[in-house]
Each structure stands twice: as structure tokens, then as C-alpha cells.
Structure 1
């Protein structure tokens, strides 16, 4: 592998900022020093740029296999690295659902051939595949995904006996989507009775309500405490839920952790009037108070990591009526610059962005030698120019679906370079393909 020398970057790492050089050799960070004069195959002048550990996104839906008209591991990983995300963990609600070890292995085989970013895949749980779930290799798979709310295919886990067994017997991290299905269906029936099929997007947070989220999240927390389960609750969408989590323990000692997503910290229900179905997610984007409360919980440590829940659909699918339009949207290309925008607004620091989008994900999932800028660690790095403005437009969107909820938004910052496992894969707007990312491994 070619050696890379990054010169005079402002490094943001482990709650510090300092100017230094970094030497990358054989995929790893060999040296971090104030000045490194050794020869290298490639030199990057990073004066005036900020260097962060590559973002690790613990929740994406890249749609392969079975839903490749929406996105593919290849197309979405390209968008990810262009956005500074160097590693991803992908969810099991593809087609077929990833409910057997064979189907899980198939996804790893696809990623090995196609992914520009480093990768891992969740094993899916259903009401009737506990034996398969318990075969999962804790050293080579990021976790078990449990949908405690409606989902694609056979992935709704609502059997109390199954949930009890999963939480008591799983030897590894369980990540949950928490919405109470009975509450959602009751709310939907109520609004259908009043409005028939004329329900509009502004009713989405009323149907997938705060109550539905809190009932399910609190039940998951209760189950985890009872069984000492390693629980990670995904995409917290209400301020009320943030109080289920602790900020007194060090992250490495927590048994229960939580994630916030970009869209729940950026948009509010006021944006449905202009964005419509393009910000229809499950769980729903809710009030300004919820949005601000989630960000506050990120800052004070109740919420541990920031992710995207990247879930592309076609323009045609999203352009349907509210009841027909699927939930989810593409985010990986614009997640980091969106958080940097919050930095420009004085709402979060660069050090906190590095912590929540890289360091803490590595700690939560016990990822081997990633998530930090340290000698001996894999060189997963992103350089950003905090003063290079760019506008999100159709012609610079890399998602296969070719749209973004941020379309028309001008960001104050840009990603200039992305390095994945020691390989430069993105430079000043150009993707450099030919060497794929690596499978993540875990120290458990």
C-alpha cells in the first residue's frame, strides 16, 4: 500500500485540537508528530483544514439485496465516504430479511466486493429465529437488531416470550427500534375514522406518537435492566425518552446506550409544511422541544452516539400520498456537514462531533482499532474545510435515489478528503475507486 503523509492538519481528537503531521503506512496510522520529514508516496497539504477520525455510522439501510432500485451497497457507500463516513453498520430489513446466518454471510460477501467504506451487518431477530440469532459470531458481527415496532416482512418482534428470551440469552449488543405497535395502530385507526384516506403528513407524529415511542423504549430499558442485557436504543425521537438514560457512568461501563439521528436534531414538525414526505421517518420527526431536547441529551451524555438511519426510497415512492409513501430518507453524504453546520451555529463543538460520530461508536460496539486518531490504529480519517461553502443540488447528490431532504441547503463546510483503512478514496469532489473497505472486527 502507498504511504500517505498528511502535513499540518488541525487534528480534532479525544477532546483536543492541535496541529500535527500524520504518517500512514500499510493501512495504519504509524506516527503522529508535530513535524514528520520522512518521504512518502503521497503527501497531502492540510494547512487550514481540520482532520477528524472517520465517522462510524451505526445505522444505515443500503437496500441490498432485494431493494436495489432504491440503493445498493456500492452506491450508498460511495455517498458515505464522500460525506466523511468511513465505516457503516447496515440493518437486516432487506429482502429477504437477514434472519439466517447464510443470508448474513451473503451480505458480507457483497460488501467485500462492492463497498468503498468499512462495513458490518446486523443479524435480524424475528418472533421465531432465536436459535439462528444465538449462532451469531460476536467477534465479527456488530450486533442483533430487534424491531419493537412495525417493520418490513417478518421482523416485528412483539411476542413477550421471544423478547424475554432475546434479552436474557443474547451474548452481544441488541439494538432496538422502539415504537409500540398497538399504540400506532390505535392512533392510525382514530385518524382514519375522522379523515378516511385523506390523512396528511402533519399527522405522522400524532400517529407514531411520543406515547408509542416512550412505551416501547421504557419497556426495552426495563427488560435490559432485568436481564443485564447490552442494549442500544436507536433513533431517539422524543425529549421524554432521553430521561431513560444515564450520564453518570463512563461510556465503557454503560449497559444501556442510546443513539440520536441527524434528522431528529435538524428538522421539526414545522418542516412538514415544506418538506412533506421527504422527512417522513419512523420514528417521526416531532416538535421543536423534542429536537432541542435530543441535542441537549447528546451534549450532556445521556445520548451517546450520532447516526443517520440512512434509508433511501425513490422519488416516485416518496411522491405518493402520505399513507402510501414509505418512511425513511438518504443522509450519509450530508450527515457530517449538517453537524458541522450546528457547530457554526454554536450548538456543538468539533470535539463533541468527533466524540459522538466516531469515538463513542467505537466504544459502544467495541470496534477494534478504529474511531480514534492514534498510532497503531487503522487510518480512517476525514479532512474538512470549515470555510468551503457548498450547496446541495441534484447534480452533486451521490445517492442512487438522487434526492436529499437537504436539497437547496447551503452548508458552510465541505469534506475535502476521506481515507478508509489507509486508502485515499475521496479527494476534492472526486471518488478514487479500486480498493474496497474492510470488514469491522470487535474486541469482545
Structure 2
């Protein structure tokens, strides 16, 4: 352990940008003040670059166990660190699924040895594991995940009675994937009758439609209001859904919150012509008008969090007919650069970006001492250079699957350094040989 002195930083934190130095001692930020000096510290001069809190990604699929040909905790957390993401929450639809306390702790055991970034996992609710869910220690993981649209194995929760019991029997945040399965099945059958398996990809947002999303989201919200549950709706994709959420109270007082993902803020249905199944996600990327309304809701605080839903697949898996091509794509390495690009375009301020990617996930999930640049907090920090152009190419992609939907895009901003728990873990495309990640703890 040791001391690091970051000099000449422009810190973005709690709605302000200010010039200062940061002294790190062991895992923590010890002092934030201009003109600091410490002869015992390693000095890192960031020369006026911006220092942000480490990004907290509340929704990733790192594919371990059981699907590790696509990615694993080690490979994808390493890519995350290069993208300025210092903390992730991984989803339960692995193989086997994370639907027992035993399988949850097995994941934590793997991450303790393999992960480059701080970690927690969501516990998966099913139609038949309510008793196991009741045994869950609220401090043991980040929350509960429910799939209200089709997913791996038996993770679709479609038993109305069980669903209400889950909502009534946990104090943890319930994060939901909201798409109405009946609507999707009817739409899919309609297009399969016309095209067989070779349905043109442009019909994906019509099959997984606005109606499918809205029906499911509105139903989940109604149930949360009825039961008093703490609900977080993952990856909004439609403008219509944004009107289900409120911005009239602070996040800390909200019982019902929402997230939007990078791909729904960046792409629209016109991109299917060039990207094809590479941008096939569930929920689907929809219209430019939907995208504009998602941006509006993000900026006026009806949407609380930006995440990735990082979900890698091999190119040969993606390169299939519509019904056989899996949904999902890799994003953790490029999420922050993509949002910084939107900042450069005047779409979002740095302060708002940090609020949605760093502060709010920490608040929403009650994460202890992370998500801020504050004295006494863990030193999870990201240095970004807003004037360093680079193109996304296969040669610089770190995902195990080896591709990105951003290939060919030139970003104006670059992650230069990432600090995790007081250690310089990533610097100018190089990684520390040691891992310094920690299991998340919670103020609950």
C-alpha cells in the first residue's frame, strides 16, 4: 500500500467542476485541496485533465459461469477498467443461473480472484425460488433481478401470484427487464409466417414493440405502487415509457426509478441498415423520436441512471438469421467515451454525466463510499482527456468476443488512467499486473 498525489486535476463532482490536487492514502482519498505536496507520495500530474469518480455500471452480463466462450469476469472487467468503469453489477442469467444463495456466493468467489473492477451480483427471481429469495441478506448483493420478458431457462417470471409475493417479500431494489411476452410472441409469429427465420432485422423494434415495453413497465410500476416495493426499471427504450416516471422529488426519496442504456441513447432504427444484428438488443433500439424522448427524460431527471447492459456474443453467433441471432452486444470499454462524445456535441454536461453514471448508481443501490470524489471515500477515479482523438478498431478492442458496435467510430475523448481502491490500475493502454478490486459493501 502507499500514497499517490494527483496534481493539477479538474475534478467533476456533485454538480461542480473545480481545479485541485488529490492525495490518496492506501485505498482511500485522504485530502482534496489545491497546492498539496507529499514527499512520500508517487506524484501523478494529470496536466489539467478531468478527474471523474469511477463509473458504476449497474447492469452487465459477463457470461461467467457457463457462457465463457463469449466473455468472462476477468476479460470483461479488464475492458471495463479501460473504459473508466471501476464497479459493475452482474446479472443472474448465467449457466447455472444465480437463483440460489449458493450460486451467488460461488460467483463472488470467482470474482475475488478474477475481477479487475469492483463487483457485486444481482440475485435472480424465478417462479419457484421465493423461499430462497426470502433468506437473502440485504447486504449480501446489490439487489434482485426479475425478467418480465423472455430470458435464459426459467427466469421469465410470469406467475402473477409469485410476482406479487416477490414484490412484497424483499426490501432490496428489484430491477426489472420489462417486455410483455404475449405481445412479443404474437408479433414474432406474424413475421415468421411472412419470412420464416429470415425476418429482416428492421422488424426487430416492431416485434419487440413500444406496446410490449409499455405494457410490462406500467404493470411493474402499478405493482410496486400497490406493494410499496423498491422498483428500478432497467433499459428504457421508448419515449412513451418515460412518462411513467417522475422528477418531482430527489432520487433518495424515489421508490420507483429508471435506467437508460448507451445503445438506446446512441443508435436508432435507421442504423439497422448498416449494423444489422450487431445492434440487436432486447429491448430493441427504436426510433429517433424515442431516442430524443429518452434524452429529454434523462436530462430532466425522470431517468436516473445510465448503464451499458454489456452482453457479448461471438460474431459467428450474431451472423445468423434473425430468429437465431442472439440479442446483446459489448459496451463497457466504450460507454464513457461515447457519453463524453455526447458532451462534446453539447448534449450533456460533465456534471450531469457524472450524476447519472457515478453518483446516482451509488445512491440508488446504497453502495458504501463509492461514486464520488470525496475525502474518506474509496479512491476509484478516472482521468479523461477531452482532446485525444482515437478510432475504435479491432486492434484496440479488449472484449473477449473481439468486436464492438462502435467499430469505425472516432471518439474525441479518451480514458487516460483509472485508479481503483487507491491503485493506478490502468495507464495509457497498459494494466497493472496486480488486481485490486473489492466486493461492494452497502449502507443498508
Separation (CA, whole Å) in 2 of partners of 1:392 and 1:43:
31
Contact kept, 8 Å, 2:66 with 2:95, in 1: the verdict is yes
Structure 1 position 279, deviation (Å)? 0.3
Structure 1 position 195, deviation (Å)? 2.1
Separation (CA, whole Å) in 1 of partners of 2:116 and 2:438:
9
Separation (CA, whole Å) in 2 of partners of 1:282 and 1:109:
29
Separation (CA, whole Å) in 2 of partners of 1:133 and 1:155:
14
Deviation per CA, 1:45-96: give whole Å up to 9, x if none: 1122000000000000000000000000000000000000000000000001
Provide the secondary structure at the position in 2 that maps to 1:192. helix
Q: Which residue of 1 aligns with 2:340?
A: 340
TM-score normalized with structure 1 length: 0.99
Separation (CA, whole Å) in 1 of partners of 2:435 and 2:303:
34
5 Å matches for 1:391-402? Answer: 391-402=391-402
Q: Which residue of 1 aligns with 2:66?
A: 66
Q: Which residue of 1 aligns with 2:211?
A: 211
5 Å matches for 1:338-377? Answer: 338-377=338-377
Q: Which residue of 2 aligns with 1:405?
A: 405
Structure 1 position 227, deviation (Å)? 0.7
Provide the secondary structure at the position in 2 that maps to 1:122. strand
**Could you list the runs of 4 or more consecutive aligned residues of structure 1 that deviate by over 3 angstroms after TM superposition?**
none
Deviation per CA, 1:93-114: give whole Å up to 9, x if none: 0001111100000000000000
Separation (CA, whole Å) in 2 of partners of 1:91 and 1:197:
29
5 Å matches for 1:28-427? Answer: 28-427=28-427
Separation (CA, whole Å) in 2 of partners of 1:52 and 1:434:
23
Structure 1 position 418, deviation (Å)? 0.2
Structure 1 position 39, deviation (Å)? 2.1
Provide the secondary structure at the position in 2 that maps to 1:302. coil
Contact kept, 8 Å, 2:197 with 2:321, in 1: the verdict is no
TM-score normalized with structure 2 length: 0.99
Deviation per CA, 1:197-217: give whole Å up to 9, x if none: 221111100100000000000
RMSD of Structure 2 on Structure 1 (CA): 0.7
Contact kept, 8 Å, 2:73 with 2:111, in 1: the verdict is yes
Separation (CA, whole Å) in 1 of partners of 2:196 and 2:72:
36
Separation (CA, whole Å) in 2 of partners of 1:313 and 1:435:
25
Separation (CA, whole Å) in 2 of partners of 1:140 and 1:11:
32
Separation (CA, whole Å) in 1 of partners of 2:260 and 2:56:
13
Structure 1 position 194, deviation (Å)? 2.0
Deviation per CA, 1:387-406: give whole Å up to 9, x if none: 00110000100000000000
Deviation per CA, 1:232-272: give whole Å up to 9, x if none: 00000000000100100100000000000000000000000
Separation (CA, whole Å) in 1 of partners of 2:22 and 2:380:
12
Structure 1 position 137, deviation (Å)? 1.6
Structure 1 position 433, deviation (Å)? 2.8
* Long gaps (5+) in structure 2: none
Provide the secondary structure at the position in 2 that maps to 1:384. strand
Provide the secondary structure at the position in 2 that maps to 1:24. strand
Structure 1 position 344, deviation (Å)? 0.6
Q: Which residue of 2 aligns with 1:20?
A: 20
Contact kept, 8 Å, 2:143 with 2:174, in 1: the verdict is yes
Deviation per CA, 1:109-137: give whole Å up to 9, x if none: 00000001000000011100001111212
Separation (CA, whole Å) in 1 of partners of 2:143 and 2:74:
22
Separation (CA, whole Å) in 2 of partners of 1:62 and 1:394:
20
Deviation per CA, 1:128-178: give whole Å up to 9, x if none: 000111121211310000000000011000000011101111121100000
Deviation per CA, 1:370-426: give whole Å up to 9, x if none: 001100000110000000011000010000000000001000000000011111110
Contact kept, 8 Å, 1:397 with 1:404, in 2: the verdict is yes
Separation (CA, whole Å) in 2 of partners of 1:110 and 1:198:
39
Q: Which residue of 2 aligns with 1:3?
A: 3
